[in-house]
Amino acid sequence: PQRTYIFTFLLSSRVFIHPHELLAKVGQICIKQKQQLETGTEAEKAKLKSFAAKIIQLLKEWTETFPYDFQDEKSMKELKEIAHRITQCDEVRVRGVGGQMTQNLLMALSARSQYQEIREKFRQPVTDKGTILKTKPQSTQKDILSVCCDPLILAQQLTYIELERVSNIYPEDLMQIVSHMDSLDNHKCRGDVTKTYNLEAYDNWFNCLSMLVATEICRVVKKKQRTRMVEFFIDVARECFNIGNFNSMMAIISGMNLSPVARLKKTWSKVKTAKFDVLEHHMDPSSNFCNYRTALQGAAQRSQTANSNREKIVIPVFNLFIKDIYFLHKIHTNRLPNGQINFKKFWEISRQIHDFLTWKQVECPFEKDKKIQSYLLTAPIYSEEALFIASFESEGPENHMEKDSWKTLR
């Protein structure tokens, strides 16, 4: 079958059967085919070589795309046994390929387990970044503009962080969205094997970036400087859009739309809002984010024909991407009325996941700036209460509701 079919099959099979059980079934087929063809005519013995090559091709694609399926001893043992049987069928062609395949797999597993060890060591609370401040810190603390005043450079550093985080999300992590919610086959799903930590960490990054933007704006005391800060973030979001980094762009817009920032009417009256209106238009939620989807499609097409990594960047709004997969899962059943698997549903889910995997493999064309990234990842961010306190101190409460809130906060 085509690679896309194999990818869809291997990705969706885990909803119904554990990968090591599937591998065992492949092993059984190998034994059966081998016995049948070995005892047959010369023509059938020739078929055996062709069969061996196809099985090796399947295993090669499986180990490359889903190396984590082979992390337990059972699967690794089964893989080695199948490879050994196949080698006997066509020793000349298969031995080298099989050896290389095992070597690549072990390297992939080793790299991933090293990353996991680091991740466990530095596993932080849900905030995933910075310190959450309940109250306002000293105004002497530096702000983002003292670290980076060029919107393009900040957008590039945000893109660097995004691509780094996206690279740790694997197809089986995304399939958890489907596996986790299964009722019929729940006992077989992989929920107990792969935790969704990578997805949560990436989601946390979005929330923290939103809160950082709101913090940076609310804690500026002078209106003129606050206006400059708002305009700076609008420019950063616009540069993110131009790069194809929709996730950071959406996080920045979300931060600016949080109540403590949105209520600063005197500040906003001084902001040149034309650029912000354009960004809001792109991220307008009406008609299921129709404008954003058009922009995403444009970026995806640009990526396909691009010659440089710079033009290949596509970072979708992650929580919308997740919702799309979840929605596909909810509106279509796993099985057809006749009991067969609804392969059309899984084909569509795997197509979306495949696009995401293509985008995440883009090598970041921007150099890492440690100083800027350190600030983005560790600068203190306010809690919601502290944001409101800072906002009311900058521009006093305007109506009864705000006055009551202010009284409660104080």
In a shared domain, residues 188 and 222? yes
Residue pair 48/34 in contact (Cβ under 8 Å)? The answer is: yes
The tokens for 379 are: 């600068």
Q: Which one of 113, 143, 163 terminates a domain?
A: 113
Q: Is residue 56 part of a domain?
A: yes
Residues 228, 18: Cα–Cα separation, whole Å: 55
Q: Is residue 301 part of a domain?
A: yes
Residues 321, 199: Cα–Cα separation, whole Å: 12
The tokens for 118 are: 């680091």
Q: Which one of 113, 141, 169 terminates a domain?
A: 113
In a shared domain, residues 83 and 133? no
- Give the count of alpha carbons within 13 A of 224, CB side only: 0
Q: Is residue 123 part of a domain?
A: no
pLDDT at 216: 96
Q: Is residue 119 part of a domain?
A: no
The tokens for 45 are: 């013995």
The tokens for 299 are: 């970026």
Residues 23, 10: Cα–Cα separation, whole Å: 10
Q: Is residue 13 part of a domain?
A: yes
Q: What is the pLDDT along the chain (410 residues), one digit of tens a residue?
A: 888 999 999 999 989 989 999 999 999 988 888 887 777 777 777 787 788 888 888 999 999 999 989 988 888 889 988 888 877 766 555 566 667 888 888 888 887 777 666 655 554 443 445 566 666 555 556 899 999 999 999 999 999 999 999 988 889 888 887 775 543 344 444 444 445 677 888 889 999 999 999 999 999 999 999 999 999 999 999 999 999 999 999 999 999 999 999 999 999 999 998 999 999 999 999 999 999 999 999 999 999 999 899 999 999 999 999 999 999 999 999 999 999 999 999 999 999 999 999 999 999 999 999 999 999 999 989 999 999 999 999 999 989 998 998 888 88
Provide the β-strand partners of residue 8. Answer: none
Q: Is residue 144 part of a domain?
A: yes
Provide the β-strand partners of residue 335. Answer: 341
Q: Which one of 80, 113, 146 terminates a domain?
A: 113
In a shared domain, residues 263 and 360? yes
In the chain, how many domains are there?
2
In a shared domain, residues 101 and 143? no
pLDDT at 188: 42
Q: Which CATH number do you get for residue 147?
A: 1.10.840.10
Long-range contacts of residues 136-140, Cβ cutoff 8 Å, at least 24 apart: 136/219, 136/382, 136/386, 136/389, 136/390, 136/393, 137/219, 137/380, 139/219, 139/221
Residue pair 38/52 in contact (Cβ under 8 Å)? The answer is: no
Residues 281, 339: Cα–Cα separation, whole Å: 45
Residue pair 234/279 in contact (Cβ under 8 Å)? The answer is: yes
In a shared domain, residues 41 and 84? yes
Q: Is residue 124 part of a domain?
A: no
In a shared domain, residues 98 and 167? no
The tokens for 205 are: 């990054």
pLDDT at 195: 55
Q: List the domain range (segments joined by +) for residue 228.
A: 129-409
pLDDT at 201: 83
In a shared domain, residues 184 and 47? no
Task: Provide the whole-model pTM.
Answer: 0.86
In a shared domain, residues 266 and 404? yes
Closest CA to 133 of 215, 230, 209: 215
In a shared domain, residues 89 and 231? no
Residues 283, 281: Cα–Cα separation, whole Å: 5
DSSP state string for 335-361: B-TTS-B-HHHHHHHHHHHHHHHHHHT
In a shared domain, residues 358 and 240? yes
In a shared domain, residues 78 and 159? no
Q: Which residues contact 181 (CB under 8 A, 6 or more apart)?
A: 326, 329
In a shared domain, residues 189 and 305? yes
Q: Is residue 260 part of a domain?
A: yes
The tokens for 262 are: 């949105």
Would you give the end-to-end CA distance of the chain in angstroms? 67
Dihedral (CA of 236, 242, 243, 244) sign: positive
Residue type, 32: K
